Structure 1
Amino acid sequence: MFHRTLAWYYSDHIHDMPKAVKHCQTALFLARENRDYRGQCVTFARLSWIEWLRGNYTAGQAYAQEAQKLARISGDLCQEAHGLHLETLFWQVLGYYKHCISRSTRARTLLCQCGLSHGDLNSVLMNSQAEVHKSKSEYAEAHNIHNQILQKVLGVHNPYRLGFALMNIAEIEVFMEVSKDLIQEKIDASQAIGKAIKNAMLITACDTIQADLNLREGDMSSLLFCKCLQFAWGNFSEVVSYCLERLADNSRWEVSCHPFSWTTVFLVHSLKLKQKLEIHKALQFLGEVFLRENDDEVTATCLFTLALEGFSQMDVHRSRAECMIRLGDICEKNSDLLKARELWEMARPLFERSLQVKQIQDTDERLSGINKDVKEQHKMHLAQLAELSLPMGKIEEVNDSSEDEWKGENIGIVVVA
């Protein structure tokens, strides 16, 4: 118990992971000597959490599975649920969202069986489910779950849970394009709690969301992101990934003041940690670099297509739509108007699913413009055909729809003998 407590102290408060691991190893040795299955289970769970923080996902997942095995041996349903929660974290970052949902559901069932369905661990499992929805850009569902967690936390005195609940809602609302003032209130409240309880992780998480909000509002300074990176590197892989993703997305920055090398760093970091969603986002961002910096449409098309395949497999709505928009832009530039329109029409409902109002408006403008261009292209082709002296007769245009209803499908060619 003594060494497990020290491991918790060093991992969650001092952020000295090597010392935390050392005390875990001592605790594990003593628990094995005494055939203490529950003690071994709790220690493996702590090791799993430490490896999660450090980004060592393969080792962490193995520890989580070992914790579940020992929990079943000792008949501890609560610890088995905790082990399932830890395993869920690793499946999420590896992009296996169905595995996440199934394990979270199983864990919550175990908590019901032991009468702990209203405890902290149940809220933690709800948070994991919200994270899956967020990863898939199902922001309404994620926001709803986080609000449920907030209502539960407000009924008890738990500043730690309250701070993270507010922070999670603020993060989602940045994606949902909620007004800056409403988001700022939650960030300020969460950060004040973090400072009061001296939780560096919560303070840094609030800083990253503040930086993201600032960027959304047009502030092109990367200093706050870099400050968070400096603190988190080597200790909090989730914060590192969050910052690198924002820095790597060149579509959000002015090209003149932002180096595209961040995109390469993000790709390398994601590959090292085997983060499936982040790897495909990095490929998408790299496509933007080739399109904007080098005007290399061939390479950009390959990268956008590869990213789109990954997003489709994971069912990530917003990122799929963004790739479709870019591929449509390239098709339009190369006069493949029908393919461009098809891609943009597929992108629109995906933006609706992820509540991206501005991008829906941009897509509608694209579709409105291309419908006119397609009509003009058809007229031009008909005119070219009419100029040909075909022996079978002359060519006449048939258009049986009004200007407002026209979408490019109704023009036909009739040969008059």
Structure 2
Amino acid sequence: MPPSEKVSSGILQETATAVGALQDVSRALQVPFLPAICGICFAILGIFQSAKAHKQEHLQLLKQVQELLWVVIDLSLGAESSDFLPQSILYNLGNFARTLQKIHSLMDADASSGRFRRLWLGTNTQQVEECREEMRQSLKAFTIYSTIQATQQLGEIERDSQRRREELLSIISDLSKLDSASQLSTTDAEIWKTRNLPSVDSIASLLPGTPKVFNGRDNELKQILSILLQDSPRRVAILGTGGIGKTALATSVLNLPEVIDMYQHRYFVPCDAASTCRDLIGIVASHIHAEPSKPGVLHTLMASSTTLLILDNFETPWEPSSEREEVEEFLSLLTDIPELALVITMRGVERPGRVRWTRPFLPPLRPLSDEAARQTFLEISDESEDNTDLDDLLPLTDNVPLALSLIANIVSLEGSARVIVRWRNERTKILSEGYDRRSNLDISISMSLSSPRMTMFPGAKMLLQAISLLPDGISEADLMQCRLPIANLDQCKLALLRTSLAYSDRDKRIKALAPVREYIRAVHPPEAELVRPLTTYLYEVLMLWKSFRQIPTLESVPRIAANLGNLQSVLLWSIEQDEEGAAWQIRRILTLDSFLRATGRGLSPLRAYLPGLFENCQDHQARAEYIAAAFESQHLYESRALADDLESQGIQEFKLANDRVGEVQFYNVLAAYYLYNNGDPATSEKYCELALALSTENHDLTGKGKALMHFSEVYEYRGNARLGRNYARQARQAFIQNGYLLAQAHAMKAEIYSVFILGDFQYGLALCAETKSVLAVCGMHTSELHSSITSAEAQIHLLKTDYHTARLLQMDILAKTSKGSEPMEHGYALLGLATIDCATDVEEAAVRKNVNKARAVFTELKSPGSIFHCDRVDAELQLRRGDVVEPATCFKKWLSVFRAEPNFALECLCKLADPDYGMHQPETTFAYAVVMFGYAKKAEIMPSVYLALRYIGDMFLRSGDQVTARHLFQTSLEGCAAMGIHRHQAKCLTRIAKICRKEGDVPRFVELLRQARTLFEKSSQARQVDDVEQLLASVVL
């Protein structure tokens, strides 16, 4: 019997409250996995809210989720700080997030129709029970560490839950009032232990307080206040870049006395978890205590008296193109409510459409004035106004409020003079004199070591010995958790700081200068008992990332990155001391290497030790993993010869280790190696078949999905995009069954690339939006994968010759990436801009500047295929100038090199076959056009098929065969129109128009030219628009 609507609504509302509470904790404490857990939970709630009926087993799952969320909140707040949660708890948080992904995939598939729903037939009950058991295990693990005593029975926990939740909501209320630069202190985190405040109905009812420090926005406050106090309409968009103070301005407005007097109801709704309009409606509903539906929200607001609604971070639901129309429609409906005043904050400078924003518009926020920046800095840092160091410190911030806050907080801890000195020391450390004077330095260090402040705590020297192995220093949290065998650790740390044998950097990491580290390692080397806990702990941090790569947690990457030097140092020490055996050393180096490769940091220098370790290793598992890593790194970074028998040896090692999952993974690695490193799709396909067969036998859905992905890549490489698309869809189905959202996004990316080759641009853009929605649920909306989806979206618009939209997307990628972060996407954004600007007649110097920047990136990444595209743009610039000899030679040479790769080959043929360039005699150009048509037709690369038809039509037209030419132009026009390719449609229309004019059909000539003009305008072809205007002006009707 299905549950009643009242029961369902109650569970939904209670779960939404718990998720909202956890989101506030996540923002305050930055605990790994919490953002991912919140994002997935919001997505699950969205599925529930849109469902027409709820199954009993699904509601039971949701109730279990809710109970776990409160326990997670409790243990997060019970820690000394976010950094002090044990690794075991972080592992369990990762497991909980993984279970939530499975629940999301289960419910999403169950709620959908078609092939994905059929996957769950017969397995739904089993999946539900697996999820329930996993959550029971998570609850058991969490309660051991939670401030709820492990000895309490679950029944007691349930009876005490309401009081407990009220206490937690009170704490979170305090947390929400902290400004963005503050951190939760130990005292704040312990408030819940001593306070017993009245209960709060819902986290949604809490309003943020006025920022503690707020200067320089008087004009903006005055303008917004004048709008909010006037008669309707009252609609304000606060715009600007990240960190500029949009939210601070909104919360200041919210708490103005005049606003409080004017509005009986005030709501502040964070929208950063809303990736769809459905999510947005659900979140607004939870804050205003309305039914979670559009009518419910509107009815509640219309029934209220004067109301101020602030939607913070509104860009999150508004940005996806697939959601924008629905989101703007919802926003428009809100503005129709007479008693409602609306304020939104958004990154960027564009306001949502379909809303009449109150004029004059509030300009996008700019950095603070020098005076306001100085005042803000002084209030946070508590420095004297007469401090001359401020003149050196303030220019580092550019008067951006977030940067000001961060720098000022560091100064408040260490003093301005020390911050400046440290900055200068770090800039000039290598050139500093005195470090070469070994005797004087040794005496100085030795005297410090023997000082009373050191000898008072014998463990201080041991701590310095440990730090001597850590070039990155160590954070307080890591120091507390690595279980060093040192008594009075806090006092020992203080002794090192007082004697300047160590110092605290701006990230509060305890460091020793390089000469001190070198002296200690030479004269007082650390014992193994001191190094082993460091090695074990740092490797555990690394393994947390590896174990949950499918559960993105952006917090763990910076934590590992901050310890990369430390990891390499302690691992090298282990190798030199021959600690723990070759197998462990191999595994640790390979794990570090996988992190470096996954985050675009290249390869570890410790790889140089692997061959020797491999020779001395008798562990089959470690030997197998080493061989797999050797092949995996080949097609990514290295290009050295591998032993002929290494492939068969690797397969044998996996079989001897009885690691069937690893064997599947190795086959997948070999499939990628032969495709990308050797250009051998046949051998790659062989290993895809082996991986698919073994993974199917093992019920290894992850391995099966990867094998199907490689099949997709093989067939796309061969020019069979249609079959490639089918394999990508099968891969996505496998990952859906496995419940891994990130893997689903990768499969969707593979399908996107197949789809736009086939010319189905509309579906491709919809799939891009859907993939971004999945990434938002994963908390990966700022990831490299998200950038690559935006890049694919830009490529589709480029193929449609919608150059304006393509350029905006490439600029967005460029702003979010760099050579050091996501270098490949950064390079392709530069290349994309150059390609677009070349096609839209931008000045050559500007085009070449971006080409050269892209070439530098690709050269550093050793990506010859990408460098080809840079050479292609250079050649196109020459063609634009009318130079044809050198480009013709280049395109012929490239065609011979890339003949077996359809996409590259067609890039060359589309230039060689274009009669407008005049690179060849007519018969040669015609031959290239025919070859291009046949090649594109066989590979089903439809944009090139219709482009080739236009080229062939040009040749017939030039030979005087207008009838054949017209048929070809018409066919090309219809094909391009179906795909929405503006520029090529316009060129076909102008050719048909000219034929009509010759035939005396002047009205038709004018009609077609007007259509062409519109399409040239859509494709930013200003010169062609002028040409059409001149043709139209010449007509006498």
Q: In the alignment, is residue 100 of structure 1 matched against residue 759 of structure 2?
A: no
1:140-190 deviation digits (Å, cap 9, x = unpaired): 100110111112112853332222222222112211211111111222222
Give the whole-Å Cα distance in 2 for the aligned partners of 1:325 and 1:316: 15
* Paired amino acid for 2:951: F
Aligned partner letter, 2:969: F
What CA deviation, in whole Å up to 9, does each residue of 1:251-274 have, x standing for no partner? 222564863211101110111112
Shift of the 203–283 alpha-carbon distance from structure 1 to 2, 3 Å rule, reads same
Note if 1:315 corresponds to 2:972. no
- Distance of 1:254 and 1:103 partners within structure 2: 39
1:15-414 equivalences in 2 (<5 Å): 15-154=679-818, 156-221=820-885, 222-234=888-900, 236-253=901-918, 256=921, 259-292=925-958, 294-370=959-1035, 374=1036, 408=1037
**CA shift digits 1:109-165 (9 cap, x unpaired):** 111111111111111111121122112110010011011111211285333222222
User: Any conservation in 1 of the 2:722–2:940 contact (CA below 8 Å)?
Assistant: no
Indicate if the aligned counterparts of 2:946 and 2:975 stay in contact, CA closer than 8 A. Answer: yes
Instruction: State the one-letter code of the partner of 1:148.
Output: D
- Distance apart, 1:348 and its partner CA: 0.9
Q: Residues 88 and 103 of structure 1 are in contact (CA less than 8 Å); yes or no, is this contact kept in structure 2?
A: yes
Instruction: Name the counterpart of 1:8.
Output: 672
CA contact (8 A) 1:133 1:141 kept: yes
- The answer for unaligned runs of 5 or more in structure 1 is 375-407, 409-417
Question: How much does 1:197 deviate?
Answer: 2.2
| 1:412 match | none
2-structure distance, mates of 1:176, 1:55: 29
Do 1:57 and 1:273's aligned partners in 2 also have CA atoms closer than 8 Å? yes
Mapped partners of 1:58, 1:315: distance in 2: 20
- 3-state secondary structure, aligned to 1:321: helix
- The offset of 1:76, in angstroms, is 0.8
Using a 3 Å threshold, how does the CA distance of structure 1 residues 57 and 248 change in structure 2: closer, same or farther? same
- Could you state the TM-score of these two structures normalised by the residue count of structure 2? 0.35
Following the alignment from structure 2 to structure 1, what is the Cα–Cα distance between the partners of residues 788 and 823?
15
Is the 8 Å Cα contact of residues 94 and 276 (structure 1) preserved in structure 2?
Answer: yes
- Alignment correspondent of 2:373: none
Q: Within 1, Cα distance between the matches of 2:883 and 2:971?
A: 31
Matched residues in 2 for 1:11 and 1:117: separation?
30
Given residue 45 of structure 1, which amino acid in structure 2 is its aligned partner?
Answer: M
Aligned equivalents of 1:203 and 1:157: distance in 2?
A: 19
* Structure 2 residue identity aligned to 1:128: A
Partner Cα distance (2:673, 2:829) in 1 = 22
Cα distance in 2 for partners of 1:81, 1:126 equals 13
What amino acid does structure 2 have at the position aligned with 1:353? K
- CA distance in 1 between partners of 2:1034 and 2:995 (Å): 15
Once residues 737 and 955 of structure 2 are traced to their aligned partners in structure 1, the CA distance between those partners, rounded to angstroms, is 53
1:250 aligned partner, one-letter code: P
Residues of 2 paired with 1:59 and 1:9: CA distance? 21
Deviation (angstroms), 1:323: 1.0
Amino acid at match of 1:287: G
Whether the 8 Å CA contact 1:311–1:320 is kept in 2: the answer is yes
**Amino acid in structure 2 at the alignment position of 1:113:** V
TM-score (norm 1): 0.84
Q: Partners in 2 of 1:25 and 1:238 — Cα distance?
A: 25
Q: Secondary structure at the match of 2:817?
A: helix
Q: Which residue identity does 1:303 align to in structure 2? A: L
- Residue 260 of structure 1 aligns to a residue whose secondary structure is helix
Which one-letter code corresponds to 2:873 in the other structure? I
Determine if contact 2:819/2:827 at 8 Å carries over to the other structure.
Answer: no
Look up the equivalent residue of 2:964 and give its one-letter code: T
Q: Contact (CA 8 Å) 1:97, 1:314: kept in 2 or not? A: yes
| Alignment partners' CA distance in 2, 1:188 and 1:17 | 32
**Whole-angstrom CA distance in 2 between matches of 1:89 and 1:158:** 19
The one-letter amino acid paired with 2:938 is: K
1:10 shift after superposition = 3.0
Distance 1:79 1:241, change over 3 A: same
**C-alpha displacement of 1:33:** 3.3
Q: Deviations over 1:73-102 (max 9, x none)?
A: 100111111111211222212221221122
CA distance in 1, matches of 2:951, 2:840: 21
For 1:120 and 1:8, the matched residues in 2 are separated by: 20
Could you tell which deviates more after superposition, 361-370 or 2-11? 2-11
Deviation sequence 1:371-392 (CA, Å, 0-9, x none): xxx2xxxxxxxxxxxxxxxxxx
**CA separation in 2, counterparts of 1:127 and 1:99?**
16
Distance 2:972 2:1022 in 1: 23
Larger radius of gyration: 2
Using CA pairs under 8 Å that are at least 6 residues apart, name the structure with larger relative contact order, 1 or 2: 1
**Mean alpha-carbon deviation: is it higher for 297-306 or for 255-264?**
255-264
Distance verdict in 2 for CA 1:19–1:165, change over 3 Å: farther
Which amino acid letter does the alignment assign opposite residue 310 of structure 1?
G
Provide the C-alpha distance between the structure 2 equivalents of 1:185 and 1:299, rounded to a whole number of angstroms: 43
Corresponding residue SS for 1:335: coil
Distance 1:191 1:50, change over 3 A: farther
Change (3 A) 1:259 1:95: closer
Give the counterpart letter for 1:99 in structure 2. Y
Alpha-carbon distance in structure 2 between the residues aligned to 1:269 and 1:156: 39
Q: Which moved more, 1:37-46 or 1:160-169?
A: 160-169
Contact 2:720–2:940 (CA under 8 A) maintained in structure 1:
no
Q: Deviations over 1:235-294 (max 9, x none)?
A: x321112211122111222564863211101110111112222211111111100011x1
One-letter identity of the residue aligned with 2:970: T
Aligned residue number for residue 229 of structure 2: none
Contact 1:28 1:39 (C-alpha < 8 Å) held by counterparts: yes
Q: Identity of counterpart residues, as a percentage?
A: 30
Residue 271 to residue 210, structure 1, CA distance change in 2 (3 Å): same
Q: Aligned partner of 1:265: which letter?
A: V
Contact in 2 for aligned 1:208/1:228 (Cα 8 Å): no
Preserved contact between residue 13 and residue 199 of structure 1 (Cα < 8 Å):
no
Compute the displacement of 1:25 (Å).
2.8
Provide the C-alpha distance between the structure 1 equivalents of 2:830 and 2:711, rounded to a whole number of angstroms.
Answer: 27
Deviation at 1:4, TM superposition (A): 2.2
What is the alpha-carbon distance in structure 1 between the residues aligned to residue 975 and residue 951 of structure 2? 14
Counterpart-to-counterpart distance in 2, 1:152 and 1:54: 33
